[in-house]
């Protein structure tokens, strides 16, 4: 049962700390000029929804701010209109390409805001995100919108990555 502190439910969470090459670490480095490390605050509900309530970074690192990415067409230029899974997967591929150009990877994501055209896609997006990202999830919010700049868009993701 969560504790009630100043009107806010406090759930038990745990932190998992890794350095950028994925090795487990105990604790986390606050020093500058040292290897960048990431810690993930985790909660049971957060893990089932493929996000972390918070991601803590420390050490020498670069912050990469990603504009909104979408996936309305696939790699061959074929329309993905009406195909939520296709658009979601393509959106993550496009984010991955942008991160690669910036010298980073999907594992470097620390937060993302997911905009969805229909709240009924939230669970499927969560399943796909868990499949694509693995086990260390960025902090995240999912927001349902009334529409996008392009009528065929079903998802857009804006994100921040921190990379060594």
Q: Report DSSP letters for 5-47, one per residue.
A: ETTEEE---EEEEEETT--EESS----TTSBPEEEEEE-HHHH
The pLDDT of residue 109 is: 96
d(CA 138, CA 76): 29
Determine the average pLDDT of the residues in 17-35: 46
- What predicted TM-score, i.e. pTM, was given to this entire model? 0.72
Helices 84-101 & 122-133, crossing angle to 10 degrees? 40
What does the mean pLDDT of the chain come to? 81
Structural domains of the chain in order of their starting residue, each with its CATH number? 3-163 (3.30.1330.40)
Confidence of residue 26 (pLDDT cuts 50, 70, 90): very low
């Amino acid at each position: 049962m969560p504790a009630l502190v100043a009107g806010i439910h406090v759930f038990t969470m745990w932190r998992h700390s890794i350095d950028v090459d994925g090795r487990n670490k105990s604790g986390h480095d606050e020093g500058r000029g040292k290897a960048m490390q990431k810690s993930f605050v985790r909660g049971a509900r957060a893990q089932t929804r493929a996000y972390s309530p918070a991601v803590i970074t420390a050490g020498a690192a670069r912050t990469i701010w990603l504009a909104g990415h979408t996936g309305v067409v696939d790699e061959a230029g074929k329309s993905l209109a009406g195909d939520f899974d296709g658009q979601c997967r393509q959106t993550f591929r496009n984010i991955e390409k942008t991160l690669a150009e910036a010298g980073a990877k999907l594992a470097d994501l620390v937060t993302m805001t997911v905009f969805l055209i229909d709240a009924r896609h939230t669970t499927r997006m969560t399943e796909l995100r868990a499949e694509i990202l693995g086990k260390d999830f960025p902090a995240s919010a999912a927001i349902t919108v009334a529409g996008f700049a392009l009528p065929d868009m079903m998802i857009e993701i804006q994100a921040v990555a921190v990379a060594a």
